[in-house]
Amino acid sequence: MKKKNRNLALITGAGGLIGSESARFFFGKGFRVLGVDNDMRRAYFGREASVAGNIKLLEDELEGYRHFGFDLRDTGKLNDLLEEYAGEIAIIIHAAAQPSHDWAAADPLTDFAVNASSTLNLLETARKFVPGTVFIYTSTNKVYGDTPNSLPLRETESRWEIESSHRFFEKGVDESMSIDQSLHSLFGASKVSADILVQEYGRYYGMKTACFRCGCITGPRHAAAELHGFLSYLVKCALSGRRYTVIGYKGKQVRDNLLAEDLVSMFWHFFQKPRSGAVYNAGGGRKTSCSVMEAIRICEKVTGRKVDFTYSDRSRKGDHIWWISDTGKFEKDYPGWKTESGVEDIVRRIYAGLKGMK
């Protein structure tokens, strides 16, 4: 029997921002790509958040791309897929998720099933059919709950900022921060469950697994909606004239931002030298950080348009007042990786991409 080539990348959430960027990246590296995505994003956030267009582009642009529209909660179809391609799958990138605080609070059963139970389904199926395959999980900084809010923060004119004497000031929060004794939000809780499962399958079974605890991942292909996709949605509002709602903390809450392509580059570096049960914070660091109000001003500068916004003083439960990701652990393990974009560069990339889609 002819030996099969192990050059397949299996990507869940393939139509989403991270999934579609992963598909293009690994295709460019000579991989064949299998995508799984049932466009649940449309069910979560409405028609404008549908990833059907992204899926169509993958089918049109990536030769040999195969798409599967089933739900990862369907263990029968998941088993059939991995059994069929067992000798060919080199990497699994699990980017499918329910990504919203607010949506999770409205339907916690579905949120947990999609985020946690589906991850367990995929891990167990991978252990059964492709135990040597690299398994990458897109986790979130929300696994830390609201612990970052206990940091020594001070209010400035345009943002909340950590005290300059604190060890997190220059580079941000590292992986030593506890995920215990905090308010996570129900979304954060489901992602914590999946995060720990991915670690456990790495440590207990020796699988090559990694959790990338992402901050705000963004880019021109983001099907952004009001409840998810902060920076891209803000640019979309600036372009369309739609009113944007600033939620809580006087709009001074801070996030760092990372282009999806830079995140996928992290995946590639890990794939070439995998570990078991690895955990990495993934973000753009201080140079890509901004508050919501700072982001509004940057959007106005880049687009040349005023952003129409209103303010709601009821902050989201478990939300972060200040977050900047320290990627030092990853950079130590994989010194070839780096990101150079600043926050204004990122906004310009999003703006150019959205204008091109009109």
Q: For residue 89, give the nearest of 24, 20, 32 by alpha carbon.
A: 32
> Looking at residue 2, what is its pLDDT?
47
Place of tokens 């909660």: 73
- Who has greater pLDDT, 334 or 4? 334
**Backbone Cα Rg of the chain:** 20
pTM for this model (two decimals): 0.95
- Dump pLDDT digits (tens) for 309-348: 999 998 888 889 999 999 999 999 999 999 988 999 999 9
pLDDT above 80: residue 358? no
CA angle 96, 98, 101 (to 5 degrees): 145
User: Average pLDDT, stretch 39-67?
Assistant: 93
User: Average pLDDT, stretch 9-29?
Assistant: 97
β-pairing, 209-214 vs 134-140, is parallel
β-pairing, 289-291 vs 254-259, is antiparallel
Q: How confident is the model at residue 24 (pLDDT cuts 50, 70, 90)?
A: very high
CATH T-level fold of 8-357: Rossmann fold (3.40.50)
pLDDT above 50: residue 12? yes
pLDDT above 80: residue 90? yes
Q: Report the alpha-carbon distance of residue 107 to residue 109 in Å, rounded.
A: 6
- Dump pLDDT digits (tens) for 267-322: 999 999 999 999 999 999 999 999 999 999 999 999 999 999 999 998 888 889 99
Q: Could you tell me which residues are beta bridge partners of residue 165?
A: none
User: Residue ranges of the domains in the chain?
Assistant: 8-357
pLDDT above 60: residue 1? no
- Dump pLDDT digits (tens) for 132-172: 999 999 999 999 999 999 999 999 999 999 999 999 999 99
